[in-house]
Structure 1
């Protein structure tokens, strides 16, 4: 377990421990929870149970008023159907919305906030693939739902977020019967595909300092603010590099008068 990822690790472990206590309180735990050589395996088991418990119990019903912002995407039929079958879920910043290896039962539709979609290697290092904004859905999760496979990505709330969760059983049904939903799904695939190509181009053809400045510029556009509350470690995780490298390059950008550094804050002067 890597100590550098304190925030996300605390969030994930907090969920796991809460789940463990809940299970024990219902008398369903077969043994106490101890720290030992099999800790990671046990955490994964409890995490899986937590997500199942979370999916079954922590939901808020959604009204048609919550869907008005999607009237330009969907026709009235789909708006009515979503309000009847979908549920609204809220997440705090750094909450894990979808995790690697998680069985997907719902399609996410973002109504507020931003969500980072990341890939993780065997050593636990993450790479930012793309960022979802209001009105977006995750094409990677759509693919997993259609293939009935577990998630290959991790989706984390980049800020407080609200997500409409649509049961996957309706995805294919609406795709075959409703043009507005079909267009939305196909367009989502195209947009995410273009963003994936951009990520590949960035990795293949841009130097790290160029990648860093592009990342900061993209964050400005996403947050609609030139003042970014972000740590060097968080940037390093998103760009799949070390904090030392990011700190050195940020100092270089500051000398070039492109940014101004503060404590856990970066002001972008040029983008």
Structure 2
């Protein structure tokens, strides 16, 4: 079952021999919702390939406040952890399971060897960097140019897409932490969105209309 899941997620870009090697050298891990997968300042010996679920990638300021950078979906990897691995530095990000997730963890040494010797892996990593770079630019644009109500509504639609449901189970405080603002602000803006007929609120639940 694990081999089939690995092939299903990555056979579109990785060659069969590499998938077989990943299966042999990788370690399968399961994480529950809100589990920390990679933490800030953690030495990185493995990189994750996400097989199932969703992961949110966060940065932290000097006061310990978190800011959401981007989400990972099945079939993707975290390029910020790749960069740390290549530079043999500690993690600059926190990776948290957005929902129950299955990963395969690959030793850093293998990743570096494949970059030199396997074109399918090299193309996968380059495409991952391009995707993440675009998403981080969007995050910067959101912070610089979008009003908080626009950022909030965009965030809710992204979470709805990730969970493949128009109904999101989430606390106002969790949204506030993702968007680096206060719960009071989020609660007020959610009520405004509800008045605008864009969402429907209930206890720890938001429905996108």
Q: Give the structure-2-normalised TM-score.
A: 0.98
Post-superposition CA distance 1:168-210 (Å, at most 9, x none): 0011111111111000001000000000000000000000001
Equivalent of residue 159 in structure 1, options 99, 112, 115: 99
Is structure 2 residue 189 aligned with structure 1 residue 249?
A: yes
Q: Which residue of 1 aligns with 2:154?
A: 214
**Residues 39-54 of structure 1 mapped to structure 2, 5 A cutoff:** none
Specify the alignment match of 1:66 in structure 2.
Answer: 5
- 1:221 Cα offset (Å): 1.2
Q: Partners of 1:238 and 1:255 in 2: how far apart?
A: 23
From 195, 203, 208, give the equivalent of 2:135.
Answer: 195
Question: Segments of 4+ in structure 1 off by > 6 A?
Answer: none
Structure with greater contact order relative to length (CA < 8 Å, sep ≥ 6)? 2
Greater fraction of residues in strand: 2
- Classify the secondary structure of the residue corresponding to 1:182: helix
1:133 matched to 2:73? The reply is yes
Matches for 1:75-224 after TM superposition, within 5 Å: 75-224=15-164
* Greater Rg over alpha carbons, structure: 1
C-alpha distance in 2 between matches for 1:158 and 1:256: 28
Cα drift, residue 63 of structure 1: 5.0
TM-score by length of 1: 0.76
Name whichever of 217-226 and 183-192 sits farther off: 217-226
Alignment partners' CA distance in 1, 2:114 and 2:52: 23
1:58 alignment partner in structure 2:
none
Cα deviation for residue 64 of structure 1 reads 2.9
Rounded Cα–Cα distance in structure 2 between residues aligned with 1:66 and 1:247: 39
Q: Distance in 1 between matches of 2:180 and 2:2?
A: 40
> In the TM superposition, what whole-angstrom CA distance separates every residue of 1:98-136 from its partner, at most 9, and x where no partner exists?
000100010100000000000001111110000000001
Match in the other structure for 1:56? none
Unaligned segments of structure 2, at least 5 residues:
none
Equivalent pairs, count: 208
Q: Which residue of 2 aligns with 1:35?
A: none
Give the CA deviation at 1:223. 1.0
